[in-house]
Structure 1
Amino acid sequence: MDDPDCDSVLLERTYRQFAAINRLVSGWRRVYRTRIRPRLGSGRRATLLDIGFGGGDIPRAIARWAARDGLGLDITAIDPEPRAIRYVRGLPDAGVRFERATSAELVARGERYDMVISNHLLHHLDDDERVDLLRDSTTLAREVSIHNDLARARLGYAAFAVATLPLRGRSFAHDDGLLSIRRSYRRDELRAIVPPGWRVESMFPQRLLLTHEGAAE
């Protein structure tokens, strides 16, 4: 998927499949209930930034959940990938503001949000990019940053390989998903490389949550 010359039909199909895959494995419904929803309400509209939205299913889902709960939440989702932007702009409106941008560009503009999140982003980054992302997150987030990623494990790798085998050759979900698991961290590995103030937690099934609490203005 990261190849700019990859097959556009397979890429769009993969974006569509992200919603089903993330519903099964990412745990964002639980993260919303326990970490996002408690920060909403109090007669104000909160703001949330999703960095690297991919197929856009995570911010769209969070927007739906907040709306169903009658809570005010304005969501901005960014991705530097032009193909991701083209894909989400072809979807029905979900009350999410999608923008082609990087976190560094938002920092340069002086943007601030109550919450900053990402999904399956950490394992794509090299050391310098990870340092930049975490620095940008603490600058952009008034209250909390939540980076949700895979935890590398043999069981998870085997289960994903079997579950997505029917998708092999029909999208990038199978091969890229297995590559992502191989690139991802174990809990102790991630703890060893993040700056002070960041907390690494395990979450079922085989997930890692990297969080940082900020001081609300």
Structure 2
Amino acid sequence: MPRPAAREPGLLRALASLVRRDDHAIELMDDPAADPEALDRTYRRFGIVNRIVSRPAAVYEEWVRPHLSPTRTSRLLDVGAGGGDLPLQILRHAERDGLRLEVLAIDPDERAVRYASRHAEPRLQVRTATTADLVAEGETFDVVWSNHVLHHLTPAELGALLADTERLVARGGIAVHGDIERSRGAYLAFWAATLPFAATLFRGSFIRADGLTSVRRSYSAPELARALPRGWRVKRAFPARLELVWGSEIADD
């Protein structure tokens, strides 16, 4: 039987708590006993939310497109692909521009992989795997990318992801790990923007509750900067986003 949803903390209490990262908060969709129907609804709604908060078109233009070619097939790794909506959008942008791209989308959660596999096509492969698995297989990619993964990680897991990423980026490639920047403004904006849709568009999903939890779990820019190994840098992006960037041109700065 699915577990009951966790009660959302009061707004004022949540805003006051954002001075530090709440690494004990757990997102409902991460629960192995999460309601499968609610989980599917959540994956379906990701496409709407991600277009606004993750800005895949901007990520494509700034970080992905410069590494693509109309004559050579480039490879992109999407780490923690969730419902698989973002790699599909990146592929569509590349197709529009006449650029050749193949994407491997991985997630350690078999439930996410089952859902994302519905969108699989010749240029999009979906696997249950971790970055450590791909390092062991000797894989490399022109672009390594993740979205809203970092806030799920402990400091040790973050360090392991960044180390794996450096091994997975091909010579001349780029890595970009994007996530939310924790702030009262980000929390309040998501709280207000999703409130009118809580009983309609997002009803029966984990979008609103987990989105607010995600902000509480997220890092601030200074926190991430202190945790980064040599060669990485943290960049702020709109809206309330952080991007951890690594690549040959970054390391040489």
Question: Which category describes the TM-score, using the shorter chain as reference length?
Answer: over 0.9
Instruction: Give distance in 1, aligned partners of 2:56 and 2:122.
Output: 17
CA contact (8 A) 1:64 1:94 kept: no
Does residue 186 in structure 1 map to residue 220 in structure 2? Answer: yes
CA distance in 2, matches of 1:92, 1:50: 13
Structure 1-normalised TM-score?
A: 0.95
Deviation larger for 52-61 or 166-175: 166-175
One-letter code of the match for 1:9? Answer: E
Identity of aligned residues (%): 47
Look up the match of 1:206.
240
1:123, 1:88 → 2: CA distance? 21
Pick closer, same or farther for the CA change 1:113–1:24 going to 2, 3 Å: same
1:38 partner letter? P
Give per-residue Cα distances to partners, 1:137-170, cap 9 Å, x unaligned: 0000111110010011111111111222233652
Equivalent residue, structure 1, for 2:143: 115
Helix, strand or coil for the counterpart of 1:164? helix
Q: Deviations over 1:175-194 (max 9, x none)?
A: 11101001111111110111
Q: Which amino acid is 1:41 matched to?
A: S
- Distance in 2 between residues matched to 1:17 and 1:94, nearest whole Å: 24
* 1:173 aligned onto 2:207: yes
- Equivalents in 1 of 2:60, 2:117: separation in Å? 24
Mapped partners of 2:137, 2:117: distance in 1? 23
- Does structure 1 residue 97 correspond to structure 2 residue 131? no
Cα deviation 1:21-62 (Å, max 9, x = unaligned)? 010111221111121111111621111100100010111110
Partners of 1:214 and 1:3 lie apart in 2 by 38
Instruction: Give the counterpart letter for 1:23 in structure 2.
Output: R
Moved over 4 A (4+): none
Q: 1:91 to 1:73 in 2, by over 3 A?
A: closer
TM-score (norm 2): 0.82
- 8 Å contact kept, 1:141–1:214: no
Matched residues, number = 215
| Aligned equivalent of 2:152 | 124
Distance 1:10 1:214 in 2: 42
Partners of 1:214 and 1:52 in 2: how far apart?
A: 23
Q: 1:102 to 1:170 in 2, by over 3 A?
A: same
Shift of 1:95: 2.9
Inter-CA distance 92–122: structure 2 relative to 1 (3 Å threshold):
closer
Partner amino acid for 1:188? P
1:1-217 equivalent positions in 2, closer than 5 A: 1-41=29-69, 43-91=71-119, 93=121, 95-142=123-170, 143-165=173-195, 166-167=197-198, 170-214=204-248
* CA radius of gyration, larger in: 2
Gaps spanning 5+ residues in structure 2: where? 1-28
Alpha-carbon distance between aligned partners in 1 of 2:122 and 2:149, rounded to the nearest angstrom: 22
Question: Is the 8 Å Cα contact of residues 48 and 113 (structure 1) preserved in structure 2?
Answer: yes
Q: Match for 1:43: what amino acid?
A: T
Instruction: Provide the alpha-carbon RMSD of the alignment.
Output: 1.4
